[in-house]
Amino acid sequence: MNVKAYMELLTIARLEGINRSDGINAREEALKEWIREWITEVSVSQDVIKNVFTSEEEDALKYYMAGKLSELLMEDCVILDNEPKKITTRLAAIKR
């Protein structure tokens, strides 16, 4: 996970207010802002002729759609680490 994003979450968790409800409201607003800054959601669609697929067809569709999603996520979410004789890419995601 991005260290800056993680540290911001820890800061939000520590927010307090004058009373309990002020603290809750402050954390809620800070978390909304964090989500706007750090979370991105992309979507792709594909027109299809039929709606029922075999397991193999479904796997092929998932692979194709994942490629399209990764293209959209590349700019905002993919980190490229260039080391001697090795390139590593990383992506942080939230499980569904």
Both 91 and 59 in a single domain?
Answer: yes
More confident residue, 72 or 2: 72
Both 66 and 30 in a single domain?
Answer: no
Q: Which domain holds residue 35?
A: 1-39
Cα(73)–Cα(42) distance, rounded to whole angstroms? 7
The domain tally of the chain equals 2
Q: Is the pLDDT of residue 93 over 80?
A: no
Q: Stretch 14-21: mean pLDDT, rounded?
A: 86
Q: Stretch 21-42: mean pLDDT, rounded?
A: 89
Both 47 and 92 in a single domain?
Answer: yes
Amino acid at 40: T
Both 60 and 18 in a single domain?
Answer: no
Bridge partners, residue 81, by sequence:
88
pLDDT tier, 1 (very low <50, low <70, confident <90, very high otherwise): low
pTM of the model: 0.59
Both 19 and 66 in a single domain?
Answer: no
Both 90 and 54 in a single domain?
Answer: yes
Both 47 and 24 in a single domain?
Answer: no
How many residues comprise the chain? 96
- Tell which residue, 4, 55, 5, 3, has the closest CA to residue 63: 55
Helix/strand/coil for 2:
coil
